[in-house]
Amino acid sequence: MNNGNGRRLNGETEEDDDDEGSEGDLDAWERTYADERSWESLQEDESGLLRPVDNTTLYHAQYRRRIRSLSSQATTARIQKGLIRYLYIVVDLSRAAAEMDYRPSRMAVVAKHVEAFIREFFDQNPLSQLGLVTIKDGIAHCLTDLGGSPESHVKALMGKLECSGESSLQNALDLVHGYLNQIPSYGHREVLILYSALSTCDPGDILETIQKCKKSKMRCSVIGISAEIFICKHLCQETGGSYSVAMDESHFKELILEHAPPPPAIAEFAIANLIKMGFPQRAAESSIAICSCHKEAKVGGGYTCPRCKARVCELPTECRICGLTLISSPHLARSYHHLFPIVPFDEVSPSVLNDPHNRLPRSCFGCQQSFPNPGNKPSLRVACPKCKQHFCLDCDIYIHESLHNCPGCESFRHSKSPIATEE
């Protein structure tokens, strides 16, 4: 849609194409007409006046559908989410990645969003590890090994961005399969493939490889950038992953960030295990020690491994001397909200709103924003099914996406269900 060439969209009877040829990007001022098309965001309202499209309710409706579908998957029996994930990101650097339909090129956009994804991933999954693989000229290379530090991955990715040649899905899967077979059994094996090409040139039978991956319980997901390819769909269906195709840059970003929270773990996959971990103390500010990661003397502000007393600079990490995984309790706590998700809020129906017998709160419980008067418009408030407090739509989104606490339930000690088993 945002192609420099593209002017034929949506069947509007625009003037017959001026043959401007297929080259040349538009200037910025031109882009506002060709690409952003601000006039399209206007709509006529009931009285015939032009108004900008009310995106917020649309956005909110989409969001709610998504949350509902996610929570319906979780159901009453809690599905255990894969909390210790070993994820490989496979970036397709074949010829197709040099296409310019994303600005400046597919490759650059993909790299940018992968960087954002890496940070988000480690934010949401502090105990997990990530690795990068690229496909170029039909061969898959391992760019970085599985590791827990975002910086090294990002640096490696930004360093090597050239694309050429064909793409081979089978080679990538084989490579990743080899690596993922070596990880401990309690970890969840995942692969995220960012595929720009439209075909795959494989040396052998890719269907066999897919079966192999399925047997090893690797969950492969694909985000397509050009169009829907059967083999990718098949791969995702067989291994239990998700396949989506991005329509444009912002959609791509959304899709890739959807993979940051842990997926519902297919329960048989991971073997439960007790993992030995250490909780180091933070050293006092004035202590001096030689840190084991940089091999130089540092003042204050580090952590001491409880087993071998080596100093490390940041958490979470693996102690270089004795191999113990070192974390702090907040890291574990960061993942607790996946295990104890809050219920989605229900929409307050207009009939309840218009009923004169109901005494409705006039402002949102969370942010104190006052509600507009209920009219015939779709309801703009939601209520928590447990504490029955009313919230505005924006608080709803914030609570479910970021905060993971219902302020109403937290603010009343003796609400309907005791706090201890709440959420």
Partner 1 sequence: MPSAPTKLYADDVSLLVVLLDTNPFFWSTSSLPFSKFLSHVLSFLNSILLLNQINQIVVIATGCNSCDYIYDSSLSTNPGIENGKLPALCSELLKKLEDFVTRDEQLNKQHSLPPTTTSSSLLSGSLSMALCYIQRVFRSGPLRPHPRILCVQGSSDGPEQYVAIMNSIFSAQRSMVPIDSCYIGSNNSAFLQQASYITGGVYQKPQQLDGLFQYLSTVFATDLHSRAFLQLPKSVGVDFRASCFCHKKTIDMGYICSVCLSIFCKHHKKCSTCGSVFGQAQSDVASASNLKRKTPET
Partner 2 sequence: MKFQIEDVTVYFPYDHIYPEQYAYMVELKRALDARGHCLLEMPTGTGKTIALLSLITSYTLSKPNNPVKLIYCTRTVHEMEKTLAELKLLHAYQTIHIGDRARILAVGLSSRKNLCVNSRVLAAENRDSVDASCRRLTASWVRVAAAANPNLPTCEFFEEYEKAGSNAVLPPGVYTLQDLRAYGKEKGWCPYFLARHMVQFANVVVYSYQYLLDPKVAGYISKEMQKESVVVFDEAHNIDNVCIEALSVSVRRQTLEGARRNLNKMRQEIEKFKATDAGRLRAEYNRLVEGLAQRGNLPFTDNWLSNPALPDDILKEAVPGNIRRAEHFLHVLRRLVQYLEGRLETDNVEKEGPVGFVASINTHAGIDQKTLKFCYDRLHSLMLTLEITDTDEFLHIQTICDFATLVGTYTRGFSIIIEPFDERMPHIPDPVLQLSCHDASLAIKPVFDRFQSVVITSGTLSPIDLYPRLLNFHPVVSRSFTMSLTRDCICPMVLTRGSDQLPVSTKFDMRSDLGVVRNYGRLLLEMASVVPDGIVCFFVSYSYMDGIVNSWNENGILKEIMQHKLVFIETQDVVETTLALDNYRKACDCGRGAIFFSVARGKVAEGIDFDRHYGRLVIMFGVPFQYTLSKILLARLEYLRDTFQIKEGDFLTFDALRQAAQCVGRVIRSKADYGMMIFADKRYSRHDKRSKLPGWILSHLRDAHLNLSTDMALHIAREFLRKMAQPYDRAGGSGRKTLLSQEDVEKMGDGILNEMQY
Residues found near partner 1 in the complex (CB under 8 A): 76-80, 83-84, 123, 127, 186-187, 267-282, 284-285, 306-307, 324, 328-330, 332-337, 339-340, 364-369, 394-395, 398-399, 402-407, 410-414, 419-421, 423
Minimum CB distance to partner 2 smaller for 237 or for 363:
237
The letter for the amino acid at 187 is G
Residue 9 interacts with partner 2 (CB under 8 A)?
A: yes
The stretch near partner 2 (CB under 8 A) out of 139-147, 172-180, 231-239, 257-265 is 231-239
Residue 55: contacted member of partner 2, partner 1, none (CB under 5 to 8 Å, by partner type): none
Q: Which of these ranges, 29-37, 201-209, 335-343, 382-390, lies near partner 2 under the rule CB under 8 A? A: 201-209
The nearest distance, CB 330 to partner 1, in angstroms, is 6
Provide the residue type at 320 as one letter.
R
- Name the binder of 144 from partner 1, partner 2, none, CB < 5-8 A by kind: none
The reply on whether position 34 binds partner 2 by CB under 8 A is no
Give the residue with the Cβ less far from partner 2, 150 or 264. 264
Closest separation in Å from C-beta 105 to partner 1:
31
Binding partner of 288, given partner 1, partner 2, none, CB within 5-8 angstroms per partner class: none
Taking the CA atoms of 54, 243, 248 and 112 in sequence, report the sign of the dihedral they define.
Answer: positive
Residues whose CB falls within 8 Å of the CB of residue 204, separated by 6 or more in sequence, listed in order? 170
> CA dist 57 to 60, 283, 377, 401, Å?
5, 50, 10, 17
Q: Using CB distances below 5 to 8 A depending on partner kind, what does residue 61 bind out of partner 1, partner 2, none?
A: none
405: exposed, middle or buried (C-beta count within 10 Å: 0-12, 13-18, 19+)? middle
| Contact pick of 74, 198, 266, 322 for partner 2 (by CB under 8 A) | 198
Piece of 243-251, 320-328, 337-345, 385-393 that binds partner 2 (CB under 8 A): 243-251
Q: Are 162 and 137 spatial neighbours (Cβ–Cβ below 8 Å)?
A: no
Per the document, the length of the chain is 423
The secondary structure of 89-153, three-state, reads EEEECCHHHHCCCCCCCHHHHHHHHHHHHHHHHHHHCCCCEEEEEEEECCEEEEEEEEECCHHHH
Which stretch in 36-44, 72-80, 86-94, 194-202 sits in contact with partner 2 by CB under 8 A?
194-202
Candidates 25, 151, 205, 314; binder of partner 2 (CB under 8 A) is 205
Quote the CA–CA distance of 371 and 96 in Å, as a whole number.
Answer: 50
Out of partner 2, partner 1, none, what residue 230 binds, judged by CB under 5 to 8 A for its kind, is: partner 2
Q: Are 346 and 382 in contact (CB under 8 A)?
A: yes
**What is the closest distance, in whole angstroms, from the C-beta atom of residue 5 to partner 2 in the complex?**
6
Binding mask 144-163 for partner 2 (x = CB under 8 A): --------------------
Q: Which amino acid is at 338?
A: H
Q: Can residue 169 be called a binding residue for partner 2 (CB under 8 A)? A: yes
Long-range CB contacts for residues 28-36, cutoff 8 Å, separation at least 24 = 34/4, 34/6, 34/7, 35/1, 35/2
Q: How far is CA 74 from the centre of its chain?
A: 18
**Choice between 12 and 45, CB closer to partner 2:** 12
How many chain residues interact with partner 2 (CB under 8 A)?
A: 36
State the nearest-atom distance from the C-beta of 127 to partner 1, in Å: 8
Q: Is residue 229 at the binding interface for partner 2, with CB under 8 A as the rule?
A: yes
**Per CB under 8 A, 291 contacts partner 2:** no
Output the smallest distance, CB 384 to partner 1, in A.
12
What angle do helix axes 106-124 and 150-159 make, rounded to 10 degrees? 170
Phi, psi for 374 (deg, rounded to 5) = -65, 130
- Considering only CA atoms, which of 183, 180, 185, 192 is closest in space to residue 235? 192
Angle at 407 between CA 403 and CA 411, to 5 degrees: 140
Contact (CB, 8 A) for 408 and 384? yes
**What residues line the site for partner 2 (CB under 8 A)?**
1, 3, 5-6, 8-13, 17, 19, 22, 101, 169, 198-202, 205-207, 224, 226-232, 234, 244-247
